[in-house]
Structure 1
């Protein structure tokens, strides 16, 4: 045995493509000195650096190093943020806000061709946008917008179509009104939002994280205007009230002022790192001109905001429909393997506010049984019930303080309630099943630390439960799994670790993994997975990342899990991993379960042991 450890308020408009005008743009004012936003584009392998310019009087332009217009679009705009497309250093995304229509514009920047092309737009429904920014990872680019009411929308940009791009809602949350600007530090997955007269709010840009924020204060009389970040993690703020740039220190806790050599009233900021210097591209509200100011001897940041220990991440191929209940509702899954037609196997999942749900392998809800607040569920096969061989599911029911038993139709896999077997537990919590020879057992625990074993018998279609074992652990237990073949029970104590109970011996239970060194605290889901005849104990929590191709979010705040190594058809030759998702986004919805091919888990285990 080895232990391995939103409601969318934006109205998405029809997408279209603007025509691009190339060569010089007819204007009385040079872009490099009069545009409110100037951004030098760092292009790998190109000595001469082009510029992006956004102007409220001229529009959007791609300029050469001398300021000559290579391509322009006649959209009078404000705000500018830019990211390269994944795995590209020649084509990127410029985001800006059309000041006449109030629509966000996403513009394709092709540096190699010297061309701009508008690829998508959308407008706010019953509100207006105050701020926007973009962030990126190795897989995708995301757009963030903040409206006048202080609602943040996070949207993934799908750039696969060469004619137009699409936007997919990821999540939304509220920050409050009077927002002036925002920026994303990609290296630290951190979103910074500037609130006028208050300061800078810091959020995690990871949609799987809780929406928690930290206020980074600035002088109380300062009108905070613009915040920007470099790809190296530098973050700075400007205000037209002061001839300074405020730079976030190396601890990411304090903004320190740096006096500017020119007396300016900076209204906008585009920040870039050049070796040991920072270059601030500012628009001076006082003179109405753009300025470039170099800040020398600014060391590169070491590290950044700690995002936690890196975990193995699996990508889901699918997800179940959300549970009917909102809040902390979905909890524990169990996989029913169809021995006759493996591809028609099913996933059972508890909604601990209402009942038991059953899904197919694509996540479609097939049946829902409103049997009460069932918490954990497990399944055993080939049980003799009055001469009939059936499969049985059991669930801990907190409504009736009982074990709910279900008979499974072996043809369809759908359950029907046999009855509730009373326990003396005040709050039945974790549950797993075991089959030892012909004997069926249910292991169930209480939040008070008690563990109990019940032997289940059937007589005239009536089930009875007899408690045959009981013990107590110091802190709250939940997850457990029985290794029936080897007469072993593994169970988790959420704040301590994983215990092993040998069922054929009277020896003391053994702590085989501790939360301090081996597994994460809050141990809940666990299951057994077989690779080359070796059983592996799979214990949550681990990472299930987003599938950006299918727009399926990852899993976070995971409670229960189940896994099988059985062949489940051509699509799942090595089985299935099912993980509860406690924070369902893309878009925001009630909790659900994520579906991961067992091949990913198998390959990871083989990599670890070889």
Structure 2
């Protein structure tokens, strides 16, 4: 069972109303196509993918590959030959073309010893034009949760053998852990977002720590022979307990010793604002340099619902809902991405994993990131399904050749239609960004 499902099965938030999203598929070839904007049972419009990647399987036969988080790299010289770089956890990285065809697979590194945790790539983001000792380069940056490190891959679209080349400094330190014993406990580098400070030109990675509320700011540093390392600038701990309007205190019900973690993150490059999804709490907005006070801009519906952990069942029994939660997000809050438009216009998109929808917020912070609507990524045909239990998302609002002249949205599908017996599968869906903007701008 994929890890995200195991985690959610331990947190039973019975008071949330989760709607099963069903789609009526054409009965035969030539039947009337599905309406692009047809609303579901929740009233939200649907957009349909144009393509999907081959299914990934999280078992030994499938290479322990579990799709998680995508990033979109635009080839400025030939936009139609742009790439999607995506994490597959123990399966490493996958690189896809705009037809969703795999063109490279990069293995995650092994642990230092046979009994140590193996490499496990969790989230990925891009840095453009980083100045290395060998010249400027675009990089894919990934959090290696298995080894508690960041890893760096130079992007060369036409390089023989594949576009990604590992340029990680061999001496990069653990992000959070003091040693290998602590790394093996896997409270390690988890969520990831990159940021280049326009005032200084310096590039950074924001990295969250698994099963804690901590976020670290790491400055990216060029090393010898074109390699990349990093140093920790500062850390910030988000709250794990919350004062409710009735004067009581609430902490999300999790396994003993766990705190409500952050995974999905994105930085608005125009103003240096970081958005961070605390999975069982909501979406935070803060300065990307981790100074100042974070602000919770929206909460999950389950916010404030008490829970009692049962060690025998490893589940939380939910109590009565006091009504302090939000209206648009069902835990977990997962993938965050931006759709920038001119000036401060555009959207922050969040994956509402608990009800298989996506919520859109105004990108303009002066208006408090107001909610602008939502949508689902639904099945396009009997063979091309939608996105469920989405972990990660990435959008690029720029022309990408003939296939996506208005930009692209890529979302993880945590419940891919199996293509090999009854094996559980994951993958990624490619959606025309114009379809998303159409439903949000209506």
TM-score range, shorter chain: 0.5 to 0.7
Deviations 1:259-278 (A, max 9, x none): xxxxxxxxxxxxxxxxxxxx
Match for residue 384 of structure 2?
A: 552
The 2-side partners of 1:554 and 1:560 are apart by: 14
- Seen in structure 2, the aligned counterparts of structure 1 residues 430 and 503 have a Cα distance that, compared at 3 Å, is closer
- Seen in structure 2, the aligned counterparts of structure 1 residues 505 and 330 have a Cα distance that, compared at 3 Å, is closer
1:332 to 62, 69, 86: 69
Q: How does 1:269-280 map to 2 (within 5 A)?
A: none
The 2-side partners of 1:580 and 1:553 are apart by: 12
Aligned length: 310
The 2-side partners of 1:349 and 1:311 are apart by: 27
Q: Give how far 1:606 is off.
A: 1.6
The 2-side partners of 1:597 and 1:480 are apart by: 22
Match for residue 111 of structure 1?
A: none
Match for residue 126 of structure 2?
A: 379
Contact 1:385/1:459 (<8 A) preserved: yes
The 2-side partners of 1:388 and 1:506 are apart by: 31
Q: Give how far 1:325 is off.
A: 3.2
Q: Give how far 1:383 is off.
A: 1.1
Q: How does 1:474-489 map to 2 (within 5 A)?
A: 474=240, 475-489=260-274
Match for residue 575 of structure 1?
A: 407
The 1-side partners of 2:197 and 2:158 are apart by: 24
Q: Give how far 1:531 is off.
A: 3.2
TM-score, normalisation: structure 1:
0.48
Q: Give how far 1:140 is off.
A: 2.2
Q: How does 1:230-241 map to 2 (within 5 A)?
A: none
Deviations 1:383-412 (A, max 9, x none): 111251100111110221111111111555
Match for residue 523 of structure 1?
A: 333
Match for residue 419 of structure 1?
A: 168
Contact 2:122/2:143 (<8 A) preserved: yes
The 1-side partners of 2:285 and 2:347 are apart by: 13
Match for residue 426 of structure 2?
A: 591
Structure 2: stretches of 5+ with no match in the other structure:
1-21, 32-39, 109-118, 178-186, 241-259, 301-325, 358-375
Contact 2:286/2:295 (<8 A) preserved: yes
Q: Which has the higher strand share?
A: 1
Tell me, what secondary structure is at the counterpart of 1:527? strand
Q: Give how far 1:427 is off.
A: 2.0
Q: Give how far 1:342 is off.
A: 0.4
Structure 1: stretches of 5+ with no match in the other structure:
1-135, 142-157, 162-306
Q: Give how far 1:137 is off.
A: 6.4
Tell me, what secondary structure is at the counterpart of 2:390? coil
The 2-side partners of 1:510 and 1:386 are apart by: 39
Match for residue 314 of structure 2?
A: none
Match for residue 234 of structure 2?
A: 469
Match for residue 317 of structure 1?
A: 50
Match for residue 310 of structure 2?
A: none
Contact 2:214/2:235 (<8 A) preserved: yes
Deviations 1:178-210 (A, max 9, x none): xxxxxxxxxxxxxxxxxxxxxxxxxxxxxxxxx
1:490 to 264, 275, 282: 275
Match for residue 85 of structure 2?
A: 348
User: Does 509-518 or 449-458 show the bigger shift?
Assistant: 509-518
Which has the bigger relative contact order, CA under 8 A and spacing at least 6? 2
Q: Give how far 1:323 is off.
A: 2.4
The 1-side partners of 2:102 and 2:396 are apart by: 20
The 1-side partners of 2:290 and 2:139 are apart by: 27
CA RMSD of aligned residues (A): 2.3
Match for residue 452 of structure 1?
A: 216
Q: How does 1:69-218 map to 2 (within 5 A)?
A: 139-141=25-27, 158-160=28-30
Q: Give how far 1:450 is off.
A: 1.2
Q: How does 1:205-284 map to 2 (within 5 A)?
A: none
The 2-side partners of 1:418 and 1:323 are apart by: 26
The 1-side partners of 2:263 and 2:209 are apart by: 8
The 2-side partners of 1:547 and 1:587 are apart by: 17
The 2-side partners of 1:562 and 1:345 are apart by: 14
- Seen in structure 2, the aligned counterparts of structure 1 residues 332 and 539 have a Cα distance that, compared at 3 Å, is same
- Seen in structure 2, the aligned counterparts of structure 1 residues 414 and 138 have a Cα distance that, compared at 3 Å, is same
Q: Give how far 1:138 is off.
A: 5.1
Tell me, what secondary structure is at the counterpart of 1:330? coil
Q: Give how far 1:308 is off.
A: 6.5
Tell me, what secondary structure is at the counterpart of 1:573? coil
